[in-house]
Amino acid sequence: MKPAGLLLLLSAALCAAQRPEDGADAMNTRGCANLTLVLDNWKFAIVTQVKDLLLHDHNAVLPDYGRIQLLSEALGDLYKEFNSLKERLTELTARFDDVESFVDATRSGRKPPPPGAPHKEVPARPRGRKSKVVVRRIFRPSQD
């Protein structure tokens, strides 16, 4: 038991004798400044290289932007085709106006106009409304 007590006493004495040096907890500011300088130099080099790439060889950095002109032309062609389809639909609608007026006249019991005769323009009804025809019977008192 004596050796264990002796070891305990020596370790306690050594711990008490050790004093932390002044400033041991403080950071090494010189090393921190060097690290900051290195990181700043790296940042400058990276930014300079990216700027040079963007100015002189932007297709290597941004390859998708090289295809924008082709996409723009394709979209323009699509708009032209859509507008031509709208015009064709307008022409076909004008052609079917004659057929529609003939069918309407036949259904209503009127004599249809001869083919090729200009038809009267009927003003179009507003789209949101449906007109309803109401037939009322009027009772007249008999005068006998």
> pLDDT by residue (tens digit) across 77-97?
999 999 999 999 999 888 888
3-state secondary structure of 90: helix
Residues 56 and 87 in one domain: no
Residues 85 and 104 in one domain: yes
Residues 74 and 97 in one domain: yes
Average pLDDT estimate for 51-66: 76
Residues 77 and 108 in one domain: yes
**Dist CA 5 CA 76 (whole Å):** 95
Report in angstroms the alpha-carbon separations of 106 from 32, 112, 132, 139, 141: 97, 6, 20, 31, 36
Which of 43-47, 62-66, 95-99, 128-132 has the weakest average pLDDT?
128-132
Report the pLDDT value the prediction gives residue 85, as an integer from 0 to 100: 93
**Best-predicted range by mean pLDDT among 2-6, 22-26, 52-56?**
52-56
Report the pLDDT value the prediction gives residue 107, as an integer from 0 to 100: 85
Quick check: 99 and 105 in contact, CB under 8 A? no
Q: What's the structural domain count of the chain?
A: 2
* pLDDT of 127 strictly over 70: no
Residues 78 and 101 in one domain: yes
Residue 137 lies in a domain: no
Residue 54 lies in a domain: yes
Q: Which residue is associated with the tokens 């940042």?
A: 43
* pLDDT of 123 strictly over 60: no
* pLDDT of 16 strictly over 70: no
**Domain around 96:** 69-112
What is the token pair recorded at 109? Answer: 């019991």
Residues 75 and 41 in one domain: no
Is the pTM higher than 0.85? The answer reads: no
